[in-house]
């Protein structure tokens, strides 16, 4: 089990220490098949704030599939506290205004016990205050750092998905130690790209490396040569986080620019999530590295329940739908829905959840959790949960593209993803 380094992660350790005894136990998740507190046969209502339509629809489709599969499994194992789980799906159109409406609808009209599943951070940011106002537990699966930064309230938690800051931080040791010291960052010139630039820069410098160029590309740009020309000659590693429909043109033009003499290249799979890596034009990426939240291609060393998870969510060994090999899953992100639902179940069991009056008990029960061991409930890998910041921390994966498939090259330690706490939500009132 990973333990945080005490000298640099003082506040986080405070939380972990609180539960030191519990940490020693093999699992804080109660036996998931156990239930025995049934007071009613009414199903528990779990609201999925789904990106059914809009810019997030390709993620939303897989988030929903995964959630349906997780709920089916929970119900086939007896439900939660003797009650079946009902998944209520409301489309937020990947729109912050609708997102806030959906939280109200799921809470007031559909009488959901909890709400979960939002990915896009602008929807989260607009929905979180409403969840706090309505006092409904709101479990996000977003990667947003805003939660751990203290921007939300006590009702918002992210126990099943690591945040972008911890992901970027944990890449720095691998990049500096294995790929080279001089790093050039090329990023889309808006908040998403700025996050990567601003989180990576100090992390690389702490490892003794140098950021030799920070190249922002306007979001609507389609011709990239003039930006490639700004990459210094002494660059060892090119770190790219371009996203959107122009990403494949970007890769194609990068290949034409460098031909056979390129630096090492490191990217985030967010750029090519749900994209077939064998698409013509992407050959240039062969031998380059990617961060992955959860390896898309089944790895020989994967845990035994990985196959069971893939089967449940209908994803094959190459990360595609079992019914359509061209329908690539958003595999690096969708595990978050599966894990979050299992953590909600564990929390409800710990809190002896019966009615909506127990919502605060549920939040306290999850805040008390500190470690989720890897299992079929938590297939992506073990996680350390920080009850104060409501944020989970876990292993990150670095894969290399070999023969058109991503091969796992490195798994970071959980401690590599830690950063100082910025908030203690347990001090906030309900």
Q: Which is closer to another protein, CB of 369 or CB of 423?
A: 423
- List the one residue from 16, 29, 125, 344 that touches another protein (CB under 8 A): 125
**Sign of the Cα pseudo-torsion (227, 232, 233, 237, in order):** negative
User: Rg of the Cα trace of the chain?
Assistant: 21
Q: How many helices (H) and strands (E) does the chain have?
A: 12, 17
SS (H, E, C) 229-255: CCCCCCCCEEEECCCCCCHHHHHHHHH
Q: Does 65 bind another protein (CB under 8 A)?
A: yes
Q: Does 88 bind another protein (CB under 8 A)?
A: yes
- How many CB atoms neighbour CB 413 within 10 A? 12
Q: Does 393 bind another protein (CB under 8 A)?
A: no
Q: Which is closer to another protein, CB of 28 or CB of 175?
A: 175
Contacts of 400 (CB under 8 A, 6+ apart): 287, 288, 289, 290, 406, 407, 409
- List the one residue from 128, 363, 388, 398 that touches another protein (CB under 8 A): 128
Residue whose C-alpha is closest to residue 167's, from 323, 290, 348, 77? 290
Q: What is the footprint of another protein within residues 296-355 (CB under 8 A)?
A: 314, 320-321, 323-328
- List the one residue from 181, 198, 236, 283 that touches another protein (CB under 8 A): 198
- List the one residue from 30, 78, 82, 219 that touches another protein (CB under 8 A): 219
Provide the token pair at 397: 């994966």
Q: Does 86 bind another protein (CB under 8 A)?
A: yes
Q: Does 290 bind another protein (CB under 8 A)?
A: no
Q: Does 275 bind another protein (CB under 8 A)?
A: yes
- List the one residue from 81, 146, 332, 399 that touches another protein (CB under 8 A): 146
Q: Does 249 bind another protein (CB under 8 A)?
A: yes
Q: CA 266: distance to chain centroid?
A: 19
Q: Which is closer to another protein, CB of 181 or CB of 316?
A: 316
Q: Does 93 bind another protein (CB under 8 A)?
A: yes
Which span sits near another protein by CB under 8 A: 17-25, 122-130, 223-231, 370-378?
Answer: 122-130
Q: Does 287 bind another protein (CB under 8 A)?
A: no
Tell me how far apart the alpha carbons of residues 270 and 190 are, in angstroms, rounded to a whole number.
15
Q: Does 210 bind another protein (CB under 8 A)?
A: no
Q: Does 294 bind another protein (CB under 8 A)?
A: no
Q: What is the footprint of another protein within residues 167-196 (CB under 8 A)?
A: 169, 188-192, 194-195
Tell me how far apart the alpha carbons of residues 33 and 373 are, in angstroms, rounded to a whole number.
16
**Sign of the Cα pseudo-torsion (132, 373, 145, 219, in order):** negative
């Amino acid at each position: 089990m990973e333990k945080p380094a005490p000298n640099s992660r003082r506040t986080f350790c405070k939380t972990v220490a609180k539960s030191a005894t519990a940490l020693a136990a093999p699992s804080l998740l109660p036996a998931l098949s156990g239930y025995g507190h049934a007071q009613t046969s009414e199903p528990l209502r779990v609201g999925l704030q789904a990106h059914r339509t809009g810019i997030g629809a390709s993620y939303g489709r897989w988030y929903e599939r995964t959630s349906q599969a997780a709920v089916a499994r929970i119900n086939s194992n007896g439900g939660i506290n003797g009650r079946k789980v009902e998944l209520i799906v409301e489309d937020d159109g990947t729109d912050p205004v609708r997102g806030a409406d959906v939280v109200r609808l799921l809470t007031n009209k559909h009488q959901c016990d909890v709400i979960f599943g939002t990915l896009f951070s602008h929807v989260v940011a607009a929905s979180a205050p409403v969840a706090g106002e309505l006092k409904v537990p709101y479990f996000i699966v977003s990667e947003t750092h805003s939660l751990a930064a203290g921007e939300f309230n006590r009702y918002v938690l992210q126990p099943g998905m690591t945040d972008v800051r911890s992901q970027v931080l944990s890449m720095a040791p691998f990049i500096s130690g294995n790929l080279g010291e001089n790093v050039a960052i090329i990023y889309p010139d808006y908040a998403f790209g700025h996050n990567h630039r601003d989180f990576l820069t100090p992390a690389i410098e702490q490892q003794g490396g140098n950021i030799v160029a920070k190249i922002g590309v306007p979001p609507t740009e389609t011709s990239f040569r003039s930006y490639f020309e700004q990459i210094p000659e002494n660059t060892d590693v090119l770190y790219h986080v371009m996203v959107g429909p122009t990403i494949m043109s970007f890769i194609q033009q990068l290949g034409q620019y460098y031909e056979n003499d390129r630096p090492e290249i490191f990217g985030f799979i967010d750029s090519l999530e749900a994209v077939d890596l064998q698409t013509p034009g992407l050959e240039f990426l062969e031998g380059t590295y990617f961060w992955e939240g959860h390896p898309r291609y089944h790895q020989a060393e994967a845990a035994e329940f990985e196959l069971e998870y893939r089967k449940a969510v209908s994803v094959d060994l190459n990360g595609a739908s079992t019914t359509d090999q061209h329908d690539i899953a958003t595999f690096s992100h969708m595990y978050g829905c599966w894990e979050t639902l299992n953590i909600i179940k564990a929390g409800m069991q710990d809190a002896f959840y019966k009615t909506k009056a127990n919502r605060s008990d549920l939040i306290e029960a999850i805040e008390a959790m500190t470690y989720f061991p890897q299992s079929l409930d938590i297939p992506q890998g073990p996680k350390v949960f920080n009850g104060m910041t409501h944020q989970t921390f876990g292993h990150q994966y670095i894969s290399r593209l070999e023969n058109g498939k991503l091969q796992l090259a490195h798994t970071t330690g959980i401690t590599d993803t830690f950063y100082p706490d910025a908030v203690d939500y347990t001090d906030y009132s309900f």
